[in-house]
Amino acid sequence: MINKISMKKILLLFVFLLSTNSFSQEDTSTWRVIPSITDWAKEVNNWPDSIYEVKNIKILLDVKKDSLLIEDVIFPIDTTKENIAAIFNKSITVDGLKFDNSFGVAGKVKVIKNLHFKGWLRISNYNSEPISGFFLKNIISDKQFTIKGTDRFSYFNFYNCEFKTWVGFFDFNESASFSFTNVAVKKHIQLTRTPGKPRLSIKNSNFNMISLGSSQISEVDIRNSKIDTISIRSAIIERKIHLVENQINLIELTGAQLPESNTYIPFKQVSGKLFVNPRSPLRPDAKVYMVSDSMNFEIKEDYDLLIASYKSLLESYQKRGDQESYNACYVEMKNLDTRHLKFLYTESPTFKTFFKWRINQFLKVFSGYGTEPERAVIFSMYVILLFAFIYLLFPNSWDAHGRKRIMNRYAFFFKYMNKKSGIHEVYLDNQKEDLLEFDEFKTLVAQQGKTVPRFFTATALPLYKWAISGTKFSASVLKRVDIMKGTWNDLPTKKRWWKSFLLIGAFTVAICYDILIKMLNALMLSINTFTTLGFGEIPIKGLPRYLAIIQGFIGWFMLTIFSVSIISQLLN
């Protein structure tokens, strides 16, 4: 009985071991092992079919065999150009691929380099065990290079590579990181069906097109690269999008959702380069709609979508506080709006459409649509100076002497050179009327005697002296600088030439003073009119009287716009 039980146990153990061994063999056979990249290249080139199509291969990295094809990952990775060491002559389709560095590599992560794929390379279901991704350096691909799906987070880093057609990454349900440094893509790179929300990083590269349309992306970081076209149409960028110091020809943002607090797209990179691609099954013949001199404003849907792209950028600039990009973006958007208003006026010429169009043109010139308040100040100064010049040519009540000012100056010098009295006496003679009024006041004070309280006479006489002090001081100065005693005819001939020089100099100074005062009067009148401070009676006659009213209206209008521009800039 005991022997029977023992035999049964031994039989069960044998069956268990046999089944375990068979399962182990089945697992091992799932992945076909290729000893090295060198062996893989030989296998591909010697493959009997025109396309190398296999499943579940594990490629080992052999330090000795692959000495020209692998190197240790040492950051920063050297992107010096090297010679191609392995050529794959056939197109490759692999469903299930993984690299294994367990053979002769001492556990270090390796860069795979110096490979040339002359056909396409299509990888499906990349297996990230044990290496969660790969570094590729100095790779040349003549046809499509695509990776479809992976089992967990993986990184795919490309350095100094050249893709002569296009690169595609599809169906990444798990997150991934795609990095390109010193890479050239002749056609385009495409990320599609990416619920895993991968990261994309591009630096110092040259791409024909980057297509992220309708994708879900965690981060986009593109720097110092030359890119013909970027399409982020209907894409969802969750955490970050930075475009820094790139040369971009066209960019599409239609329907894109950009992160509110981490969008960095300086407008100088995309100015004049926004476009809308309206092609769809319902509009198969639609053309790309972009900023150009020949834009078709009849297609309202495309125009509205283009304006919406500008609005999206404006929101990000405002939240980030990038005033320079905000202003530049707003001006470009308003320029399109002005052109659109011109089109509407052409289609329907009414006062309303005409006014909207022209007021936009005026705002562009006057204040850069409110983004440049300093320009409004400059134009206001031009208006003030223009009207001041007009007022200078006409008399006004602010200028007491008016047009007689210069003639009176000539008369003064004629009188001085023909009278034996000094220049101060001529000056006092001209001020006689004003002095007589003050003398009459002095006489009036003296006549009061004791008929009024002494306070009035005591304060009135100092007031009289103060009133004539300016005239007396001017007369005393003129007396000291008097260069001619007697008349001009009484001067000896030898003294006439240098005294003529002094007289002409004094006359010129006096004339310049008169002109300056007249100009200041005209300028103050223009400023007062422009700022609409108000007069009561307008202190000018003739045509300038009506011009003053027009200037007041212009000033009110321009100062209002200036105030709005200032407030707009402060709020932004």
Rounded Cα distance, 491 and 51, in Å: 120
Burial tier of 253 (Cβ tally within 10 Å: 0-12, 13-18, 19+)? buried
Nearest to 313 by CA among 355, 258, 364: 258
For the chain, the helix, strand and coil percentages under 3-state DSSP, each to the nearest 5 = 45, 25, 30
Q: 227 near 212, Cβ under 8 Å?
A: no
Residue 337's Cβ-count burial label (10 Å; 0-12, 13-18, 19+) is middle
Quote the CA–CA distance of 111 and 68 in Å, as a whole number.
Answer: 11
* Position 177 pLDDT exceeds 90: yes
- The C-alpha atoms of residue 82 and residue 160 are separated, in whole angstroms, by 10
Segment 46-105, tens digit of pLDDT: 999 999 999 999 999 998 999 999 998 888 888 888 999 999 999 999 999 998 875 444
Report CA torsion sign: 153, 125, 240, 228. positive
Structural domain boundaries in the chain: 27-276, 277-371, 402-557
**Nearest partner of 522 among 548, 496, 502, judged by Cα:** 548
216 or 545: which carries more pLDDT confidence?
216
**Is the model more confident about 513 or about 534?**
513
Q: Which of 119, 100, 120, 96 shows the shortest CA–CA distance to 108?
A: 100
Which is more confident, 423 or 22? 423
Q: Which of 345, 337, 338, 479 has its CA nearest to residue 422?
A: 479
Using pLDDT thresholds of 50, 70 and 90, give the confidence band for residue 374.
confident
Q: How many CB atoms lie within 10 A of CB 30?
A: 10
Whole-number Cα distances in Å, 479 to 238, 421, 502 = 87, 10, 15
* CA distance between the termini of the chain: 96
**Any idea which residue has 């609005």 for tokens?**
311
Phi-psi region of 146 (alpha: psi -120 to 50; beta: other; left: phi over 0): beta
Tens-place pLDDT, residues 219-250: 999 999 999 999 999 999 999 999 999 999 99
| Among 9-18, 349-358, 504-513, 542-551, the least confident range | 9-18
**pLDDT at residue 205 above 90?**
yes
- Running DSSP on this structure, what letter comes out for residue 280? B
112 pairs with which residues across the strands?
Answer: 70, 136
CA distance 3 to 1: 5
Q: What is the pLDDT of residues 379-395, one digit of tens each?
A: 888 988 998 888 887 77
Q: Is the pLDDT of residue 408 over 60?
A: yes
Helix (H) or strand (E) holding 98, with range, is strand 91-100
pLDDT at 334 over 90: yes
User: pTM here?
Assistant: 0.73
Task: Report whether pLDDT(2) > 60.
Answer: no
